[in-house]
C-alpha cells in the first residue's frame, strides 16, 4: 500500500468558523458519539479547524467546482512515502 502525506492551506470565513465552533460545542454534549474516536484529547481549536478542513475537502471531492477550489484551497503539498 502506498501512502501520500498531504498538507493543505485553506481559507475559511468567519461564518464557517462560527458554524464549526457550534458543531464542536454540540459534540461535547454527546461524549459517546463516534465523532470522538480519534478526536479525544484535542483542543477546541484543533477540533474546530479540523471540522472546517473536513467540510471544505469533502465538498471539494464530492462536488467539484473550480470556483470553490480557488476560493478555499490555496495550496497543497504532497509527499509520497513507502
| Residue 6 burial class via C-beta count within 10 angstroms: exposed 0-12, middle 13-18, buried 19 and up | exposed
Q: Tell me the C-alpha to C-alpha distance, in Å, between residue 58 and each of 21, 28, 55, 64, 68.
A: 18, 23, 5, 10, 12
Residue 4: pLDDT band (50, 70, 90) is: confident
For residue 50, give every residue at least 6 positions away whose Cβ sits within 8 Å of its Cβ, in sequence order, or none: 39, 42
pLDDT, tens only, 32-81: 999 899 999 999 999 999 999 888 888 766 666 656 666 666 666 766 66
User: How many residues belong to the chain?
Assistant: 82
The answer to which of 7-11, 22-26, 55-59, 74-78 has the lowest mean pLDDT is 74-78
pLDDT given at position 22: 97
Task: Please choose, from the candidates 66, 54, 1, the residue with its C-alpha nearest in 3D space to the C-alpha of residue 23.
Answer: 54
The pTM (predicted TM-score) of the whole model is 0.73
pLDDT given at position 10: 86
Measured in degrees and rounded to the nearest 5, phi and psi for residue 51 equal -65, -45
Amino acid at each position: 500500500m502506498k501512502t501520500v502525506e498531504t498538507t493543505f492551506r485553506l481559507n475559511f470565513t468567519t461564518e464557517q468558523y462560527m458554524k464549526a465552533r457550534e458543531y464542536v460545542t454540540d459534540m461535547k454534549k454527546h461524549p459517546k458519539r463516534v465523532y470522538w474516536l480519534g478526536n479525544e484529547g484535542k483542543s477546541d481549536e484543533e477540533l474546530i479547524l479540523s471540522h472546517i478542513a473536513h467540510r471544505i475537502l469533502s465538498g471539494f471531492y464530492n462536488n467539484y467546482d473550480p470556483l470553490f477550489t480557488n476560493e478555499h484551497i490555496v495550496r497543497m503539498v504532497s509527499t509520497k512515502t513507502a
